Amino acid sequence: MFKIVIIGSGNVATHLIQAFSENETVDLIQVFARKKENLLSFIAPAKIVDNLSDLKEADLYIIAVSDDAIEQVANQISFENKLVVHTSGSYDFNGISTKNRKGVFYPLQTFSKNKAIDFNTIPLCLEAENEADYAVLEKIAKSVSEKVYQINYQQRQSLHVAAVFVNNFVNHLYQLGSEICDNNQVDFEILKPLIEETANKINKLSPKEAQTGPAKREDFNTIERHLQFISDENQKNIYQMLTQSILSNGKKL
């Protein structure tokens, strides 16, 4: 069994802790959290430390903290020549101290505290400095997920940017849609089947093939009616910019 230590107590860390808790490939021997109480519902108290100098020796250290804190945390791991990975989509692994071997263990998913998720379906994007370390990461990753990918830094950056478009921005459009409903005494529930089908459709058609709506069919009368209907300036600007982008089919303007 691989001995692993997880450093962090945020959304990614807690989902990793749960995924590795009952696992035949991996022994989660320790977790570091600045505030132990954040993790008490996820792991036995005896396994939690709040001082990095108390870390035990392990085969793999997973640093699941905010990007800004990765380097500082990595420098405080007192062991040498251990495999140390972070979980960030946009951070290079060069921030990890050279005294240890570096890698990346990036789960590409949106994690929220109050939403359970089946870890087995989460794509894990791995990177390591050498093949032996990659093989270890891959075994550990495959013990918790069916979807394991070897992804280099540039690919990972592009995935992180693309994820902002298809997750953060998409969710924000859901919010704008729900505000438009609220302002007109319409139950946002009515839009849920459409939202679900929009996401399902791209399993069968490419997004380009799946595109419908007034901008796609160049229906300028409807676009004009919509712009007259929208009173909020921010919503109007977003409507115009995305309509223009569809009209020009996402090409450079």
Terminal Cα distance for the chain, rounded: 55
Comparing CA positions, the residue from 119, 205, 108 lying closest to residue 155 is 108
**Residue 127 CB, nearest distance to a second copy (Å)?**
13
Burial of residue 39, with CB atoms counted within 10 A of its CB: 0-12 exposed, 13-18 middle, 19 or more buried: buried
**Residue 51 CB, nearest distance to a second copy (Å)?**
26
Comparing CA positions, the residue from 120, 122, 83 lying closest to residue 104 is 83
Which helix or strand (DSSP H or E) is residue 84 part of? Answer: strand 83-86
- CA-only gyration radius of the chain, Å: 22
Distance from C-alpha of 219 to C-alpha of 233, rounded to nearest angstrom: 22
Output 78 or 237, the one with its CB closest to a second copy. 237
**Residue 131 CB, nearest distance to a second copy (Å)?**
20
Output 81 or 114, the one with its CB closest to a second copy. 114
Output 78 or 175, the one with its CB closest to a second copy. 175
Distance from C-alpha of 209 to C-alpha of 212, rounded to nearest angstrom: 8
Give the DSSP per-residue string, 136-158.
HHHHHHHTT-S-EEE--HHHHHH
Q: What is the sign, positive or negative, of the torsion defined by CA atoms of 10, 11, 13, 14?
A: positive
Output 39 or 70, the one with its CB closest to a second copy. 70
**Residue 145 CB, nearest distance to a second copy (Å)?**
10
Output 15 or 101, the one with its CB closest to a second copy. 15
**Residue 79 CB, nearest distance to a second copy (Å)?**
28
On whether the CB atoms of residues 148 and 142 are closer than 8 A, the answer is yes
Residue at token pair 């994820």: 163
**Residue 101 CB, nearest distance to a second copy (Å)?**
25
Residue at token pair 């997750």: 167
On whether the CB atoms of residues 111 and 94 are closer than 8 A, the answer is no
Output 51 or 184, the one with its CB closest to a second copy. 184
**Residue 34 CB, nearest distance to a second copy (Å)?**
17
Output 56 or 217, the one with its CB closest to a second copy. 217
